[in-house]
Each structure stands twice: as C-alpha cells, then as structure tokens.
Amino acid sequence: MLQQAPMMQNKASWWQTATAYQIYPRSFCDSNGDGIGDIPGIISKLDHLRDLGIGFVWLSPVFASPMADNGYDISDYRDIAPEFGTLADMDQLIAEARARGIGIVMDLVVNHTSDEHAWFQDARASRSSTFRDFYVWRDPAPDGGYPNDLQSHFGGPAWTLDEATGQYYLHLFDRKQPDLNWENPEVRKAVYEMMNWWFDRGIAGFRMDVIDLIAKEVDRGITADGPRLHDYLQEMHRETLAGRDVVTVGEAWSANLGNALLYSGRNRGELSMVFQFSHITAFLDPVHGKWKARPVDLRQLKGILNAWQKALAEDGWNSLFWSNHDLPRAVSTYGDDGEGRIASAKMLATVLHLMRGTPYIYQGEEIGMTNMTFDDISQFNDVEIRNNFTLQQDLGLSAAEFLAGANANGRDNARTPMQWTAGEAAGFTTGTPWLAVNPNHTEINVAADRANPKGIFEHYRKLARLRSDLPIISFGDYNAFAEDHPAVFAYARTLGPDRLAVVANFTGEQVAFDVPEGLAIAGRSLIASDAPRSGLSGRILLAPYEAFAILKD
Ligand code: TEU
Ligand code: CA
C-alpha cells in the first residue's frame, strides 16, 4: 500500500520519524519528597513515555547549577545538580530510556555559564587569569558607565561591573549568566571535549540553547547570527558530531526563512534542525513584547507555518512545536482551555504532528495541561518575570496589566508541576512543590486522561504511531489549502502514489467549509478528533475544533 520514495530509504534518519518529548526536570516527577522533580522521578515515568511512542526526550538542564535560571546557569557541565540526582542516576536514565527505545538528548547551554562556574571564578580573580579570556570583558566607558547599550534578554543592561578588576563582563541573560567568549579557541575546545564526554556516556544528542548567539561581535552591537556562527557550528560538527548517529536541535530565535538552510541543509555539516520562533514573535507587542498579550491571528499563523514547510521542502528539516518551558501552554494560547479544551488540544496536535518535520511535545501537553493563573506577582519564581515586573511598569504597563501579560505568556505558567493524578499535589510530590500545582489537576491529570479512550493522550499516541508507520507523514510533500480561510487549517501531503488530507477547525464555532478542489479525497480515516471521516468534498460542516486526516485508498 504505502511506498517509500526510492531515495528516501538511505537518506532517512531515525529522528525524522521520531516524536520528541521535552522534560522540564524540576516539574516532572519528584521521587524523594523535597518538592523538586528529579532524575529518579523521570526514570519512574519512562513507561508513560514509551506508551506514548516517544523516540527521544529533550531533557532541560540537569547539570550542577546555582539555579538562578533553573539550570540554564551551569556551574559544572560534567556533574548533575544534587537536587536532580547523581551521575549514576543519569547513566541509569540513559540506559533505562534506551531499553525502551528512547534516546536522551541533553541541553547544551554554552552561550554562557553560571558566574559560579570554576572558569568564571578564576577569570574574575584577576585580569591576568588564564581564564580571563573565556568571557567577554570591556573597560568602562570614559564616564565610568556601561561599555555600550546592549540589553539583557531578561531586561536591563547586558553588562555588570566587576568591582575588583574594574571591568564589565557581558551577560545577554541574567548577571549570574556571564557569556562565554567563543572567539577564544580554548573555549571552543573545552566545549567540544565536554560534548564528547557526554556522547561517550550514551546520550542521543543535544538541544543547543540560544546557539545563534554564540558568535557575537559586541563592539559592533551584533549578538544574534554573528558572522562566524556557521564556522563555529561546522567546527563543532567536525569535532563532536561527525560519525555519530545523533540528533541536534539548535534554539535560534533569529532563524528566518532566509538563513534556515544554513543550519540544517543536508550538506552543511551543522545541525539536524533548529527551533525557529517566527510563529511566536509575529504576535509580540512592539513595545511590551510578551508582557502585553496579543491574540493570535489564524491566517497569519498559517502563513508562517506554511512558509516554513515550503522553505524546507527540498532540503533542511523543520522542528514542530507549539510550546516549551519558555512559552505558554498550547491549549491556552491557540485553543480553548475551558469547555473546548479536549477538542482543541486534539485539533492542535493533529495539525502540528502531521506536518513535515520532527514534532516536540512539551510535558503535560499530551494531557492538555493549561496555563496556570497566578493571583499575585509574589507567587512567581521566574527570573524573567521578576526582572520585567518593574521594567515594564517604567515602560507604562500597570501592575495589573503586567500580571495579565505574565499570566498569558509568562514562563512559570507552563512550568507548574506535571499533573499525574487527582490527588494531593497532583501526584508530583509527597512534599511541598517548588512552584504551585494548578488547582485544575483534580480534573486534568494523566490518570484521568489515560483512562479516557477519547482522551488527549490516546490521540497523541496515535499520532506518534502514525508517524513511525507511514513515511508520507515524515517525508511527503506538503501543500497548503484554504490559506485565506479565517477558521480552517487545511493541507495535503503526497508521497509517490499516496495522498493524505488534513483539515482542522481552529474555532469553537461550527464552520461550513467549501472543500477546495485539490483537497478533495476519499479513503480511510487515519485519525479524527471526533467522529471519523472517510471522504472530503463539496461543502462540509465542521464541528467546533474538529480535526481529521484521511488517507487516500
Ligand atoms: O531561552 C532563550 C531566550 O531567548 C528566552 O529567554 C526567551 O527570550 C524568553 O524566554 C522569551 O521571552 C533559552 C532557554 O530556553 C531559557 O529557558 C533560558 O532562560 C535562556 O535560554 C538562557 O539560557
Ligand atoms: Ca526531588
């Protein structure tokens, strides 16, 4: 029935037919009652991921860290934070995951270290330290002020004065996250050695934190997408990835349709794929960014996702995601986290997972977890929210408006503990959770959703299975339809003689949809959020958030 295009067979990589899952360890599962998720907790839940059909896990940082940014500030790349476990636990996680066919992808945070990393401790001890040049130091401006006006992504100046040595160091994030100086070959060598050390322990790849920032030229004000970026990535590939069957995904907020292929083009020798964010940044407020929530326009959203499908059709590879630990919950942003929660969660999953690329599920998405609503600013933990609270008020947002923005787009709202059961603390911990558990866990939890044959988990499980079974999903051509339709997301996939049509109603209203001629199809229902459909033609009525896929006979 289904055929592979002849050249596909040798070209395909395991991560092109895999479904990925992101674990934010602090909030996944706590094994010892200290309120913080940990590696033994993850191991105890591996069967959940195996049942879901996951091919690899992107594990947010578990390395030694003072946790100023929940582990994105690393003080030792070759050790595990004690609250998360030990190196022995990590080895066990890698082995137990592998035994279930799941690769562990670690988070490579090498744009910066923690200020408590031994390199920085040494570097700041004196101007003549051998590690001084591991970081980016500049003299004060003639008036003693900042070397230039570069701003931190977390708000405020990107420079902090080191009083003892009289120079400023650069930090594109928090002051506890000094930027590494990638122009120094010793830095690059140290990073590559560390990567190889982890590969030798059996990991399946790396997600690379803000990798588009490593090649900055600060004196020219360049931070993202610097001139030497692709030289560094090619060097990294030669020194670490070449010859290994691993997956790499670079986080690149600056990636665009014009430069995407430089990262993931098949003959570039760089990365497997990048996370690009055009579908996020398009909806940011020009003055207040994410802190002043803006509604998502479906036509614009489709335009962006369709353009990426097209741009990486012949070469390169897309990552597919609605959410992660920095972004709000998918169902709260793009669907309906009230009455239409289950239907819209399934709809969003259907649209995304049947595109060409590697889909990523953010923990809890597989049961339709929603954004947490906090009542007061003091309940937030995140450094980004805390820093921006005063800054945004200086820019004219009221405290109440900021709270609304933070509740819509803040990072903590999607970082609340995983909801395993309806019980105390959602079964996440027997102690006091580090961040409040969403009170809706009594209704929304893994146990309840998995017990429902029409639940969200079951829907995701089917999608992962379809992806591994049908090459058309990973490799078929993508054609957008009804691009101007304000309510419907529709596309077709083709591979050789095979054909697949996907239709989704993005609204909570019933919609009459005139099927475009090229999209009409008759065959068998592959998946449906509600009643299965086997044909598509003429005018059809779509139920609220209805989504389905039909495979041609
Ligand atoms: O995120 C990069 C990044 O730019 C985010 O901070 C983003 O700007 C913000 O969340 C959106 O408002 C990565 C990690 O994913 C994030 O968790 C880290 O805080 C950051 O890098 C620093 O390592
Ligand atoms: Ca714990």
* Segment 215-257, tens digit of pLDDT: 999 999 999 999 999 999 999 999 999 999 999 999 999 999 9
Residues 548 and 535 in one domain: yes
Q: Which residues are annotated as catalytic? A: 209, 251
pLDDT above 70 for 2: no
Do both 399 and 419 map to the same domain? yes
pLDDT computed for residue 194 by the predictor = 98
Residue 72 corresponds to which tokens in the numbers above? Answer: 């994105």
pLDDT category at 7 given cuts 50, 70, 90 is: very low
HEC-encoded secondary structure of 136-187: CEECCCCCCCCCCCCECCCCCECEEEECCCCEEEECCCCCCCCEECCCCHHH
Q: How far is the CA of 275 from the centre of ligand 1 (A)?
A: 12
Residue 406 counted as domain residue: yes
pLDDT digits (tens, 9 = 90+) for 351-392: 999 999 999 999 999 999 999 999 999 999 999 999 999 999
Quick one: which ligand is closest to 431's CA?
2
Question: Would you put residue 490 in left (φ > 0), alpha (ψ -120 to 50) or beta?
Answer: beta
Question: Ligand 2: distance of its center to the CA of 238 in Å?
Answer: 38
Burial state string for 51-64 with b = 16 or more CB within 10 A and e = fewer than 16: ebbbbbbbbbbbbb
| Ligand number nearest to the C-alpha of 171 | 1
Q: How many residues does the chain have?
A: 553
- The per-residue pLDDT for 144 is 94
The reply to whether 81 and 151 lie within a common domain is: no
On whether both 83 and 128 belong to a single domain, the answer is: no
What is the percent of the chain where pLDDT is above 70? 98
Inside any domain, residue 268 = yes
Q: Give the C-alpha separation, 242 to 13, whole Å.
A: 14
pLDDT in tens, 294-341: 899 999 999 999 999 999 999 999 999 999 999 999 999 999 999 999
42 C-alpha vs ligand 2 centroid, how far in Å?
Answer: 10
pLDDT at 530: 84
Best mutation site among 24, 27, 59, 72 for ligand 1 pocket (most ligand atoms within 8 Å of CB) = 72
Determine which residue's CA is closest to atom 23 belonging to ligand 1: 72
Residue 5 lies in a domain: no
Q: Would you say residue 90 has pLDDT above 80?
A: yes
Per-residue model confidence (pLDDT) at position 60: 98
Position 293 scores a pLDDT of 86
Identify the domain boundary among 128, 144, 170: 170
Q: What is the mean pLDDT of residues 81-96?
A: 98
Q: What mean pLDDT do residues 125-149 have?
A: 98
* Ligand 1 site-directed mutation target among 63, 74, 107, 209, most atoms within 8 Å of CB: 209
3-state secondary structure 426-449: HHCCCCCCCCCCCHHHHCCCHHHH
Q: Ligand nearest 434 Cα, by number?
A: 2
Domain coverage including residue 135: 118-170
Do residue 92 and residue 135 come from a single domain?
Answer: no
518 and 406 part of one domain: no
Residues 166 and 19 in one domain: no
Contact yes or no for 293/400 (Cβ under 8 A): no
Question: In terms of domains, do 38 and 150 share one?
Answer: no
Q: Read off the pTM.
A: 0.97
Q: Which of 153, 251, 274 to mutate to test the pocket of ligand 1 (most atoms within 8 A of CB)?
A: 153
Residues 417 and 299 in one domain: yes
Write down which residue in 129, 145, 170 finishes a domain. Answer: 170
81 alpha carbon – ligand 2 mean position (Å): 11
Give the mean pLDDT of 415-436. Answer: 98
For 535-552, write each residue's pLDDT tens digit. Answer: 999 999 999 999 999 999
Q: Which ligand 1 atom is nearest residue 72's CA?
A: 23
Average pLDDT over residues 140-157: 96
What is the CATH classification number for the domain harbouring 368?
3.20.20.80
CA nearest ligand 1 atom 6, residue:
153
Query: Which atom in ligand 1 lies closest to the alpha carbon of residue 174?
Result: 22
Percent of the chain with pLDDT over 90: 97
pLDDT of residue 4: 42
> Do 486 and 449 share a structural domain?
no
| Residues whose CB falls within 8 Å of the CB of residue 200, separated by 6 or more in sequence, listed in order | none
Cα-to-centroid distance, 66 and ligand 2 (Å): 16
- Ligand 1 atom 20: residue of nearest CA: 72
Q: Which atom of ligand 1 is the closest one to the Cα of 69?
A: 19
16 and 72, same domain (yes or no): yes
| 106 in any annotated domain | yes
**Pocket around ligand 1: residues whose beta carbon is below 6 Å from it?**
69, 72, 109, 153, 173, 209-210, 251, 253, 290, 325-326, 384, 411
Which residue out of 210, 278, 383, 388 has the highest number of ligand 1 atoms within 8 Å of its CB and is therefore the one to mutate?
210
Q: Which ligand is nearest to the CA of 31?
A: 2
- The Å distance, Cα 83 to ligand 2 centre, comes to 6
Given a cut of 80, is residue 11 above it in pLDDT? no
Residues 225 and 366 in one domain: yes
Among 105, 138, 170, where does a domain finish?
170
Residue 472 falls within a domain, yes or no? no
Q: What is the CATH number of the domain that holds 540?
A: 2.60.40.1180
The CA-based dihedral angle spanning residues 34, 36, 41, 42, taken in that order and rounded to the nearest 10 degrees: -170
Q: Could you give the number of structural domains in the chain? A: 3
Token digits of residue 340 = 């239409």
Q: Which residue's CA is the closest to the ligand 1 atom numbered 22?
A: 72
Q: Whose CA is nearest to atom 8 of ligand 1?
A: 153
CA 321 – ligand 1 centroid, Å:
16
Considering only CA atoms, which of 252, 295, 290, 289 is closest in space to residue 271? 252
Q: Whose CA is nearest to atom 9 of ligand 1?
A: 326
Q: Which ligand sits nearest to residue 328's alpha carbon? A: 1
Pairing mode, if any, of strands 521-528 and 547-552? Answer: antiparallel
- The verdict on residue 130 lying in a domain is yes
pLDDT above 70 for 10: no
In a domain, residue 468? The reply is no
CATH number, domain at 161? Answer: 3.90.400.10
Task: Of 17, 221, 209, give the one whose Cα is nearest residue 106.
Answer: 209
**Mean pLDDT, the chain, whole residue set:** 96
- Going from the Cα of 58 to the center of ligand 2, the distance in angstroms, rounded, reads 19
Dihedral (CA of 130, 136, 142, 143) sign: negative
In ligand 1, which atom is closest to the CA atom of 289?
A: 12
Tell me the pLDDT tens digit for each residue of 158-202: 999 999 999 999 999 999 999 999 999 999 999 999 999 999 999
Region 55-78: mean pLDDT is 98
| Cβ atoms of 153 and 284 closer than 8 Å | no
pLDDT at 3 over 70: no
pLDDT in tens, 455-510: 999 999 999 999 999 999 999 999 999 999 999 999 999 999 999 999 999 999 99
**Residue 137 covered by a domain:** yes
5 pLDDT tier (thresholds 50, 70, 90): very low
